């Protein structure tokens, strides 16, 4: 059993520790504090039954753009996502991401969210592209400190909602067809 909740300042040390255990990209504590002070609604943790932090998402709103420009679109960015190996394949990363995205859209007014992922990280790429409906926007050559390229990925919230609505409609249609087929089967056997 895992509890997803908004991070507090008291969680930052465990979040950093989780980052150090899971990822080659690490951040100084002042970076976590900066996120916590600036975008507290966008930091979420997963804690296990004994209160230990087993995953986190560190997110922010992009702020290095001219917000007065006519083509400005408010958007968020996923800085870091990590789940301890002992707790992977349980949907924790998906829950953390969905919660951060919900806050970005509903609280901060973001239209989309971006992130970077290593080209070699197939598991993360699958999570983002298949489960969370992110699309490749660009490839950043030599993005990481070791020179590896990154996919620059985006999830547009309106497009994501349309996809989800289409999936629900398809599932409802399939259920209706199944129900009709079962009814016909009962008539035939009667």
pLDDT of 57-111, one tens digit each? 999 998 776 667 777 888 999 999 999 999 999 999 999 999 999 999 999 999 9
Which residue matches tokens 């919900």? Answer: 102
pLDDT tens, 120-166?
999 999 999 999 999 999 999 999 999 999 999 999 998 655 566 55
Q: Which two tokens stand for residue 38?
A: 């600036």
**pLDDT tens digits for 155-184?**
999 865 556 655 566 666 666 777 766 766
CA atoms within 13 A on the CB side of 9: 5
Q: Look up the pTM and report it.
A: 0.80
Determine the Cα–Cα distance for residues 28 and 32; give it in Å rounded to an integer.
7
- Closest by CA position to 74, among listed 182, 157, 164, 147: 157
Structure tokens given for 16? 């950093």
């Amino acid at each position: 059993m895992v509890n997803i909740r908004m991070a507090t300042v008291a969680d930052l040390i465990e979040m950093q520790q989780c980052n150090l255990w899971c990822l080659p990209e690490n951040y100084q504590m002042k970076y976590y504090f900066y996120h916590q002070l600036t975008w507290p609604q966008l930091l979420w943790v997963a804690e296990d039954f004994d209160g230990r932090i087993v995953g986190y998402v560190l997110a922010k709103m992009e702020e290095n753009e001219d917000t007065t420009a006519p083509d400005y679109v408010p958007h968020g960015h996923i800085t870091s996502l990590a789940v301890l190996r002992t707790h992977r394949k349980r949907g924790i990363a998906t829950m953390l991401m969905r919660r951060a995205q919900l806050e970005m859209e509903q609280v901060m007014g973001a239209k989309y969210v971006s992130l970077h992922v290593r080209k070699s990280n197939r598991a993360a790429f699958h999570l983002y592209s298949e489960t969370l409906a992110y699309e490749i926007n660009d490839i950043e050559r030599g993005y990481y400190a070791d020179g590896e390229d990154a996919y620059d990925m985006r999830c547009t919230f309106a497009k994501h909602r349309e996809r989800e609505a289409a999936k629900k409609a398809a599932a409802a249609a399939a259920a209706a067809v199944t129900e009709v087929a079962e009814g016909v089967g009962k008539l035939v056997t009667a």
